[in-house]
Amino acid sequence: MELTTLWFILIAFLFLGYFVLEGFDFGVGMLMPFLGRKSRMNADKRRRTTLNTIGPFWDGNEVWLITAGGALFAAFPDWYATLFSGFYLPLLLILIALIFRAVAIEFRGKIDDVQWRARCDIGIVVGSWIPAILWGMIFAAVVSGTQIDENKQIVSVWADFFSPYAVLGGITTALLFALHGAVFIALKTGGEVRADAVTTATRLAPIALVVAGTFAMWTQLAYGSNLTWIFTAIAAVGLAVTVVMTAKQREGKAFIATFITVAAATALLFGSLFPDVMPSSLNPEWSLTVEGAASSPYTLTVLTWAAAFLAPVVMIYQGWTYWVFRQRITVDHIPDSIGLKTTRRK
């Protein structure tokens, strides 16, 4: 296998890891206001329980995105330059949303004030919904082709970004991440929070099956190849199993199914790109290809040795983290706030 193809696969794997792991983080944040609204007496505890399910993981999961961006810059500089220059505004919005989300998660419990926590909850929710939608729209726009000229510059991106296919891509990723998060909450919690999460997942699963199934078939028929039929089939089976397992309240198997579904959907998008990395809708000859956008063979060789050494270490460490924090969380594990009533900041 040529190094350029190998690094295309590795970058696809990094984004796959990011969407699979950060996907349920987004889902947890997206669902926070819905899972904590039934009981007013312990609504804050329920939200804290929900948020604590991703407490040990969310910042580590974001490392996959940082690594993917760095690898993209080093291995395919032309791909990196064209993508980030053409989609600078939606990518900037994702960055701002991730910053707000991180700050809100870290500082939510620093002040014992109802209004403070409510504002932080808004930051978490908005900071989860925006990336969940925009990532799908960006990747759908890239797969369908953007207006790239002979100088490898994107002339106009908005017509492609707001096309029906791209909008459906954004809705699809939002639904998949929300479902992934609901199943994860059900897997990691007990009591009334788990019951809410199971109900939410049961309602979301059939909707996600229809919407994501439509997007997957559109992708396959319009941009896919014989190879990507495999990923389309795996994603379809994963969603079908999710519908069945959520109905049976088997959240462990349902989480494996959503995990596989998100991974297969990501593989479908990258598989539909290859051998291009950014197809041109103006002229196929102006498309950025794996070979044309790659770094020198020496650079790729050095990167390969570095990845061979560092990647297993990072994956083993992250796997160990998930094993250590595998226990379920309930409302009873959450201590009361310091103040019995709302405290006011002076």
**Residue 245 resides in a domain:** no
**Residue 284 resides in a domain:** no
**Mean model confidence pLDDT for the chain:** 88
pLDDT digits (tens, 9 = 90+) for 35-65: 756 555 477 778 888 888 888 888 888 889 9
**Residue 239 resides in a domain:** no
pLDDT digits (tens, 9 = 90+) for 298-329: 999 999 998 888 888 888 888 888 888 877 77
Residue 344 has pLDDT above 70, yes or no: no
- What phi-psi label fits residue 249: left (phi over 0), alpha (psi between -120 and 50 degrees) or beta? left
**Residue 121 resides in a domain:** yes
What is the band of 192 on the pLDDT scale with cuts at 50, 70, 90? confident
**Residue 57 resides in a domain:** yes
Which residue range is the domain that position 166 belongs to? 3-208+309-333
**Number of folded domains that form the chain:** 1
**Residue 233 resides in a domain:** no
Could you report how far apart the first and last alpha carbons of the chain are, in Å?
64
Q: Which of 102, 109, 176, 105 is nearest to 139 (CA)?
A: 176
Q: Which residue has the higher pLDDT, 155 or 4?
A: 4
**Residue 153 resides in a domain:** yes
What is the band of 166 on the pLDDT scale with cuts at 50, 70, 90? very high
Q: Which of 24, 37, 40, 38 is nearest to 188 (CA)?
A: 24
**Residue 346 resides in a domain:** no
